[in-house]
Copies of this chain bind each other. A is one copy, B any other.
Amino acid sequence: MTDQSSHATLMARRSRTLGPAYRHFYDAPLHPVRGQGVRLYDAEGRAYLDAYNNVPSVGHCHPRVVEALAAQAAELNTHTRYIHPKIVEYGERLTALFDPALSQVMFTCTGSEANDLALRVVRAVTGGTGIIVTSNAYHGVTADLAELSPSLGAANPLGAHVRTVAPPSGVDGGASFAAEVRTAIASLQAAGLRPAALLFDTVFASDGVYLDPPGCVAGAVAAIREAGGLFIADEVQAGLARVGSHMWAYERHGVVPDIVTLGKPLGAGHPLAAMVIRPDLLAEFGAKTRYFNTFGGNPVSAAVGLAVLDVIRDEGLQENADSVGRALQDGLATLAQRHPEVVAEVRGTGLYAAVELRGAPGTAGQGISWLLNDMRRRGVLLGSCGSHGQALKIRPPLPFGEDDLAELLTALDEGLSQDGLCHILGA
């Protein structure tokens, strides 16, 4: 059987067994067989530069993480109803990375479970039900989270208790964001709904990546608190050293959340997620409710989480995200100047960036789709964001180096120069 027919057979089997709800990236789906550092390798041995995946936070298949995983899995893997020092040690190491007010943690397997738990807590504590999210937010896959994740599209209608606001954008974004949140609060109250929480991804990733200016979320956070609600910072995508200047993206804004949810990068691929929280909030929830997550915080996931923190510290990955991240943002600004006919704006901080194309969002979205496939052919993996996928999403593993960056920028420079892209955008 040729490689091509074997690939087609695999795709047919995949479709037959996994059904229609699964999607794949690229017109020609990627079929990696090996990963190392910031590279994925396909079955033909071709290397791809991974400038997309944040889950393998410390790099694909990091040997220290794999070793910690294998060693603990061979020794003991139970659950939190028995006592184990590693979950306590990991909890202490993790909460030590936060403001002292955020001193307790509960473990789940996924960011969805962490956000879902945070919703249960804010409802129990505030007595309210109203939730405010951004206009293209994504917070997870549970039924409750689908109701407040407008990015899932019209097939998942928003709940009657949900209001959306535009993310902060532009130099006076903070004022407009706060004003939108106040309007949303008034709308909830007018409907007889008590506001429970303002919940947003602290880099507004699915909205299109909005990080500036620093401090721009403070007014909105103050507004929800004045209304008796809480602020949940969704750091599932943003967190764990990626913004470089800080461990968590919310710190850039000088605010302290009431609850922080964590996921994707924590376990570098192992299903590990968490909710970090003020003890006074958890006291009320935990006193009346037991919460047991079968796999959450088991010794294996704790061992993995500890190894990830060790690697970030020992390899200086936050410092790397800061320095290479600055170079990334500078490089993208230069590319925007070189390609003014196709690039509308670049945004980002550290190793999180968006490159928005010109034109109506739908057209720009088609342009990004074309560009992602073009970049894949060039051996560089990227993603998209924004309500119409109109911006390139750049979000590499944290050990992304200067040489990797040079390779990315060169490929992107070529991709942005192609007639095919200009043709789509009418540029």
* Residues of chain A at the chain B interface (Cβ within 8 Å): 7, 10-11, 13-14, 16-25, 29-35, 40, 53, 55-56, 60-61, 63, 65-66, 69-70, 73-85, 87-88, 91-92, 95, 103-106, 108-113, 116-117, 119-120, 123-124, 141-144, 146, 152-153, 155-156, 263-264, 269-271, 277, 279, 282-283, 285-298, 300-301
Contact = CB atoms under 8 A, between A and B. Distances in A.
Nearest to A29: B83
Given A33-B75, A152-B290, 11 more contacts: A11-B83, A17-B105, A20-B287, A21-B289, A23-B290, A33-B84, A40-B82, A55-B295, A61-B73, A110-B113, A119-B143
A10 B110 contact: no
A13 B66 CA distance: 27
Contacts of A11: 83
B61 A74 contact: yes
The A contact surface, by secondary structure, is mixed
Contacts of A70: 66, 69-70, 73
B88 A75 contact: no
A2 to B, nearest CB: 16
Nearest to A291: B21
Contact of A294 (B76, B110, B119): B110
B143 A295 contact: no
A85 B29 CA distance: 13
Contacts of A32: 76, 78, 82, 84
A369 to B, nearest CB: 14
B13 A141 contact: no
A78 B35 contact: yes
B81 A25 contact: yes
A105 to B, nearest CB: 6
Nearest to A95: B17
20 contacts: A13-B88, A14-B83, A17-B105, A18-B297, A19-B106, A20-B283, A21-B285, A24-B82, A29-B82, A33-B76, A35-B76, A60-B76, A61-B74, A70-B70, A70-B73, A109-B113, A110-B296, A112-B113, A123-B143, A141-B293
> What is the total number of copies of this protein in its complex?
2
A23 B292 contact: yes
B142 A13 contact: no
A66 B277 CA distance: 33
A116 B91 contact: no
Contacts of A53: 78
Contacts of A108: 141
Given A18-B91, A19-B106, A60-B77, A269 B295 contact: yes
A422 to B, nearest CB: 28
A69 to B, nearest CB: 6
Contacts of A153: 288-290
B106 A22 contact: yes
Contacts of A33: 75-76, 84
A30 B82 CA distance: 5
Nearest to A295: B271
Contacts of A76: 32-35, 40, 60-61
Contacts of A17: 88, 91-92, 95, 103-105
Nearest to A32: B82
B61 A77 contact: yes
Nearest to A50: B78
Contacts of A34: 75-76
A6 to B, nearest CB: 9
Contact of A21 (B31, B85, B141, B282): B282
Nearest to A25: B81
Nearest to A33: B76
Contacts of A40: 76, 78, 82
